[in-house]
Structure 1
Amino acid sequence: MNDAMYLNAFAMTEPEDDFYIYYPGWLNVWESHLYNQALKATAKRGWGFKRFGTSKAVYAREMVRKPDYIHYIEALEQAAESALQSLGAKERMLLLKSRTAFIYVDAWGESAIFENISSALHTSTIDTLPKNLLKKFAIKNVSCKMRGEKLSLIAAMRSAQDYLCWNTFDFVVVCAAWRAIPLLVFSEAALAGEAVNRRAQQVSGIHLSVERAGCFIFSRRAGGISVRCGNYHSWQDGAQTQRELYENASDIDLFAQAGPATNPMKPEQAVNILDLSTIFGSSGCLTPALSWEYLQQNVPRGTKIRTIVKDSFGGSAWFDSWIDMEKEGA
């Protein structure tokens, strides 16, 4: 496919800690209200969080609400360093000397207000651009930040695909991080749950939210995972979306969704659908990237995965990923 690009290297990191259950409290009335609304809308019994910077020295009920933000910033730098070092020496030097664009992905936008920050530099890192990463990748051309809630990573990938196919840049580095701020997580879940009307479903299980940071290096140079981004479909497309994403995808071996399937499917289709949030835990805008982890670790070469992400209003975006058979000896 002429518009496909290559994910030459990527790295993701998550907290090396346990899950902690969220408990609503009367000191945070609005947050507690959204928590209850989210549980009703998504038919779940509770919410577990794994966050960067949690400390057992903090009161248990405040542990998931007020973690130390510096660990979150360090995780993003660690992911960037791991992705860069996973390239060969020749490819690494080529990236640093080529036309390289940098895209910083964030689901929430300006979210430093939710952190206990006293440093203007750290506020700038979270709310605008992490300048230390611009230096790490020797970025001299375009750099930007993209916000798009669940679809922000795919939006950055679409931009990267256009940049590379138009030969505007040789490499595009996408760095992304997802902060599981309870107030925002509950608000988004309540909105998405109401959109698909899950209130009548049987209540079972709990949500698991995992903070993650990731770095993804794309180019048109063969190597790594082949990726092709598709179009966005609004909720109004209905049957057309169903046909394009599932029924007319004869070359797709496996479907991966960043959340439970909401559309009715044929039995043979449902067998080949992965719920990434159930397997790995939900990581907001970074959940779709977990399909690359699954592709590398759990399926044979040549398997083609279509990753589908639904926004909070019923629309869908997707991308295809595969590792070419002939790359096996590379």
Structure 2
Amino acid sequence: MMYLSSFAMTEPQDKIHLYYPCWLNVWESHMYNLALKSTKSHAWGFKRFGTSIDGYTREMIRTPRYKDYIDAMEQASDLALQQLSAKQRMQLFKSRTAFIYVDSWGESGPFENISSALHTAIIDTLPKNLVKKFSVKDFTCKIRGEKQSLVQAMKVAEDYLNWDLFDYVVICAAYRAIPVLVFSEEDIGVNKKEKKRSDDFKMNLSVERVGCFIFSRQESPIKVKCGHYVIPEDDQQLLTDIIEKESDINVFAFSGMRKMASEQTLLKNENNSPFKAINLTDKYGNSGCLSPALSWIYLEQQASDYGKMRTIVPDNFGGYSWFDTWYS
């Protein structure tokens, strides 16, 4: 059990740009078509840091200005710090603090037009400017785990706080929506019967986001507990675990782009259920490893004054991770 003392997330202010396949990028276009089939979609939109209305849209989606992405990480960290009181900020700077950097791809520098070794290190290894900002001297690391990386970092943070190794754990997470990597991640084999797309137009939306999350054991309105990784025997077992064993949950939030059968059942029966079920990707757009954190954005915007939310993070292999959030 731990408390989310402060958090902030930022995303591009520019409009959504539609992706168009091109014969100059044959492999990327091929992965695009496969990803559309596996997600039963008709188009793909991107919202990326560093795009400009003056640029050529089709190429700008592939190679936006990476410096805007780096600056956004700095801005999110500043916002998270500003939400703390002056006393809390001073405690954070003087306490035992661990820093965890999270992204989806591990190394994305080869896909950027980077001319600076310092900027390559910030994106691919560890943003030392953020380590310095939080006065971290004890522990730093990077976790790369695709869609599950933020949840994995939260589990590490929870252990460190429960074991009293650190007083604060700062997690800075970033999602860079590089088209060829986005399409490759969603290229999952499905049954031929399931590949048929509906007649209704459906567009997938990938939104770049960066976030900063400060966890501690000091009480705050948001309390978080991480669960374990689960591989259910079938969808009926998952529904049973969700509905019968967790009667105190008000909201179930799913962060996957591809809906599980159990999720579809819950969304269809929402009006007859004692709890609310939402899909974060449908509501806010997909942000890879940062999609689960959108559940806290939802709590800020639309949830009731108090309750419990369970966020379910499916992977590409039939399993899922989860964490619970108490809010008051």
Secondary structure in 1 aligned to 2:190? helix
2:261 corresponds to which letter in structure 1? Answer: N
**How many Å apart are 1:244 and its aligned residue?**
2.8
Moved more, 114-123 or 201-210: 201-210
In structure 2, C-alpha distance between the alignment counterparts of 1:200 and 1:320, rounded to whole Å: 35
- Superposed CA deviations along residues 48-83 of structure 1, whole A, max 9, x for unmatched, are 100000122322211211100000011011001110
Pair 117,107 (structure 1): closer, same or farther in 2 beyond 3 Å: same
Q: Which piece of structure 1 moves more, 231-240 or 103-112?
A: 231-240
Q: 2:190 aligns with which of 185, 194, 210?
A: 194
Residue in structure 2 matched with residue 39 of structure 1 by the alignment = 36
The runs of 5 or more residues in structure 1 that have no matched partner are 325-330
Change (3 A) 1:241 1:168: farther
Per-residue CA distance 1:155-178 (angstroms, 9 max, x = gap): 000111111111111000000000
Give the SS at the match of 1:140.
coil
2:171 is matched with 174
Q: Are residues 245 and 144 of structure 1, via their aligned partners in 2, closer, same or farther at CA, if it must alter by over 3 Å?
A: farther
CA shift, 1:263, in A, is 2.3
Partners in 2 of 1:86 and 1:167 — Cα distance?
Answer: 24
Shift of 1:301: 1.8
What is the TM-score with the length of structure 1 in the denominator?
0.92
1:159 aligns with 2:144: no
- Identify the residue that residue 256 of structure 1 maps to in structure 2: 253
Alpha-carbon distance in structure 1 between the residues aligned to 2:177 and 2:135: 30
Among candidates 280, 297, 302, match of residue 298 of structure 1: 302
Say if 1:41 and 1:197, in contact at 8 Å, map to a contact too: no
Amino acid in the other structure paired with 1:199: K
Aligned length: 320
Question: Could you tell me whether the CA contact under 8 Å between 1:196 and 1:314 is conserved in 2?
Answer: no
Question: SS at 2:195's partner residue?
Answer: coil
The answer on 1:133 being equivalent to 2:152 is no
Root-mean-square deviation (Å) = 1.9
Q: Percent identity?
A: 56
Which residues of 2 match residues 240-251 of structure 1 at below 5 A?
240-251=237-248
1:234 aligns with 2:212: no
Q: Is the 8 A contact 1:301 1:322 kept in 2?
A: no
2:164 maps to amino acid = N
Q: What letter corresponds to residue 200 of structure 1 in structure 2?
A: K
Distance 1:78 1:196 in 2: 45
What is the aligned partner in structure 1 of residue 318 from structure 2? 314
Contact 1:9 1:224 (C-alpha < 8 Å) held by counterparts? no
Aligned residue number for residue 328 of structure 1: none
